[in-house]
């Protein structure tokens, strides 16, 4: 099976390639433009993207992910990409300066379409905390300021370990199970 991963994020592509490649599913990168609407939930963003791409593409995967900081009532959430571009990791750390309540979660919603089958969505979550400083050289996005285990940031983990803990890793694992069922024995 071959599936196009529609993303402009090379980091996401590496995560999909590793996880789905182990199942023998070939993923390839597609930078296909579609409107990423501003909505209240990741699911709404993915659902709208799937509707737009449904007629244009064969098999594809899209996703939307976000960092939800409890102290800020879930901000940046669905606006994570914009917050990363405008505030960056250092800006988030400045907003969190002096805050004791540092709990946060990453969420990921994946949409998948395979011709001849009903499109579906899967979600994954990873709880953790915002660190007091950026650490690590791996990963992308908010990885240097998020720790799932209270010790190391996602940017300090190798890809395999990050995928075993992360929101996207968990969602991809569920996606892999679903695709394995779809492909049959």
With beta carbons less than 8 A apart as the criterion, state whether 71 and 109 touch: no
Dihedral over alpha carbons 24, 42, 121, 61 (to 10 degrees)? -40
Q: Residue 158: which of 15, 33, 52 has the closest Cα? A: 15
CA 100 to chain centre: 26
Which residues are catalytic, by number?
A: 64
Structure tokens at 120: 């579906």
Place of tokens 């300066």: 97
Q: Find all residues with CB under 8 Å of 88, minimum gap 6, and list them.
A: none
- How many of the other CB atoms lie within 10 Å of CB of 59? 17
- How many of the other CB atoms lie within 10 Å of CB of 158? 9
């Amino acid at each position: 099976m071959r599936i196009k991963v529609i993303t402009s994020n090379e980091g996401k592509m590496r995560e999909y390639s590793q996880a789905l490649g182990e199942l023998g599913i070939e993923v390839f990168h597609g930078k296909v433009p579609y409107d990423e609407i501003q909505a209240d939930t990741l699911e709404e963003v993915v659902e709208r993207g799937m509707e737009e791409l449904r007629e244009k593409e064969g098999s594809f995967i899209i996703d939307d992910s976000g960092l939800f900081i409890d102290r800020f009532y879930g901000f940046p959430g669905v606006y994570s990409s914009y917050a990363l571009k405008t505030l960056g990791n250092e800006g988030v750390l400045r907003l969190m300066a002096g805050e004791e309540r540092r709990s946060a979660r990453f969420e990921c919603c994946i949409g998948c379409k395979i011709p001849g089958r009903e499109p579906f969505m899967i979600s994954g979550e990873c709880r953790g905390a915002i660190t007091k400083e950026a650490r690590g050289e791996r990963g992308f996005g908010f990885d240097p300021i998020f720790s799932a285990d209270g010790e190391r940031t996602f940017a300090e983990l190798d890809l395999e370990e990050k995928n075993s803990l992360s929101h996207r890793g968990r969602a991809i694992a569920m996606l892999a199970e679903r695709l394995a069922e779809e492909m049959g024995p």
